[in-house]
Chains A and B, each alone.
Chain A
Amino acid sequence: MISVIALFIKSTISQGIPLLFGSTGEIVTEKSGNLNLGIPGIMYVGGISGIVGAYLYEHSTSAPSAFLLILIPLLSCLIGSALMALIYAFLTATLRANQNVTGLALTTFGVGVGNFFGGSLLSFFNEKGSISTLETAKCFKAYLPFADKLGVFGDTFLSFGFLTYLAIVIAVIASWYLNHTRPGLNLRAVGENPATADAAGINVIRHKYVSTILGGMIAGLGGLYFVMDYTGGSWTNDGFGDRGWLAIAIVIFALWKPISAIWSSFIFGGLYTIAIQMPGLSSSSKELIWMLPYVVTIAVLVATSLRKKRENQPPASLGLSYFREDR
Chain B
Amino acid sequence: MGQVAIELKNITKCFGPVVANKGINLTVKKGEILSLLGENGSGKTTLMNMISGIYFPDEGHIFIDGKEVTITSPKDAFQYNIGMIHQHFKLVDVFTAAENIVLGLQEKEKFNMKKVAARVAEISEKYGFEIDPNKKIYEMSVSEKQTVEIVKVLYRGANILILDEPTAVLTPQETQKLFAILRRMRDDGKAVIIITHKLHEVLAISDRVSVLRKGECVGTVDTKDSSESSLTEMMVGKKISLNIERGDAPKEPIDRLVVGSLDCYNREGIKVLKDVCFTARAGEILGIAGIAGSGQRELLEAIAGLQPVRRGKILYNNPVNGAQENLRDKTPLQIRELGVRLSFVPEDRLGMGLVGDMDIVDNMMLRSYKKGNSLFLEHKEPRDLAERIIDELEVVTPDANTPVRRLSGGNVQKVLVGREIAAAPTVLMAAYPVRGLDINSSYVIYNLLNQQKQEGVAVIFVGEDLDVLLELSDRILVISSGKVTGLVDARSTTKEEIGLLMTKGSSMPERGAEHD
Question: What is A's interface to B at a CB cutoff of 8 Å?
Answer: 180-182, 185-186, 188-189, 192-193, 195-197, 199-202, 310-311, 313, 316
Contacts and interface: CB of A to CB of B under 8 A. Distances in A.
B78 interface: yes
A316 B94 CA distance: 9
A323 B172 CA distance: 37
B269 interface: no
B424 interface: no
B316 to A, nearest CB: 39
Contact of B103 (A180, A181, A200, A316): A200
B93 A310 contact: yes
A197 B103 CA distance: 7
Contacts of A201: 73-75, 78, 104
Contact of B95 (A180, A189, A195): A189
A176 to B, nearest CB: 11
A195 B54 CA distance: 13
Contacts of B239: none
A202 B92 contact: no
B91 interface: yes
B93 A195 contact: no
**Residue of A180, A189, A202, A316 contacting most chain B CB atoms (<10 Å):** A189
A181 B104 contact: no
Given A180-B111, A189-B95, A200-B104, 12 more contacts: A182-B111, A185-B99, A185-B103, A185-B111, A192-B92, A193-B92, A193-B93, A195-B90, A196-B91, A196-B92, A201-B73, A311-B94
Interface in B434-476: none
Contacts of B106: 182
A195 B95 CA distance: 15
Contact of A186 (B73, B75, B78, B103): B103
Contact of B104 (A189, A195, A310): A189
B136 interface: yes
B138 interface: yes
Contacts of B73: 201
Contacts of A196: 90-92, 103
Classify the interface of chain A: helix, strand, loop or mixed. helix
B26 interface: no
Contacts of A188: 92, 95
Nearest to A316: B93
Contact of B102 (A182, A310, A313): A182
Contacts of B105: 182, 200
A189 B74 contact: no
Given A196-B103, A200-B103, A310 B111 contact: no
Contacts of B94: 192, 310-311, 313, 316
A265 B359 CA distance: 50
B104 A202 contact: yes
Contacts of A197: 92, 103-104
16 contacts: A182-B105, A182-B106, A182-B111, A185-B99, A185-B102, A185-B111, A186-B104, A192-B92, A193-B91, A193-B93, A196-B90, A199-B74, A200-B105, A201-B73, A310-B93, A316-B93
A186 B75 CA distance: 15
B90 A202 contact: no
A202 B93 contact: no
Interface in B77-136: 78, 90-95, 99, 102-107, 111, 136
Contacts of A200: 90, 103-105
Nearest to B152: A200
Interface string B40-75: 000000000000000000000000000000000111
Nearest to A312: B94
A181 B113 CA distance: 10
B111 A181 contact: yes
Nearest to B112: A180
Nearest to A181: B111
A310 B90 contact: no
Contacts of A182: 102, 105-107, 111
A29 to B, nearest CB: 18
A316 B92 CA distance: 9
A196 B111 CA distance: 20
A238 B90 CA distance: 47
B53 to A, nearest CB: 10
Interface string B256-291: 000000000000000000000000000000000000
Interface in B341-393: none
Contacts of B91: 193, 196
Contacts of A199: 74, 90
A34 B95 CA distance: 19
A192 B92 CA distance: 7
Contacts of B75: 201
Contact of A310 (B74, B78, B107, B136): B136
Contacts of B103: 185-186, 189, 196-197, 200, 202
**Residue of A199, A310, A316 contacting most chain B CB atoms (<10 Å):** A199
Interface string B182-197: 0000000000000000
Nearest to A186: B104
Nearest to A196: B90
Contacts of B92: 188-189, 192-193, 196-197
A192 B94 CA distance: 8
Contacts of A313: 94
A65 to B, nearest CB: 41
Nearest to A180: B111
A193 B99 CA distance: 13
Contact of B138 (A181, A185, A195, A310): A310
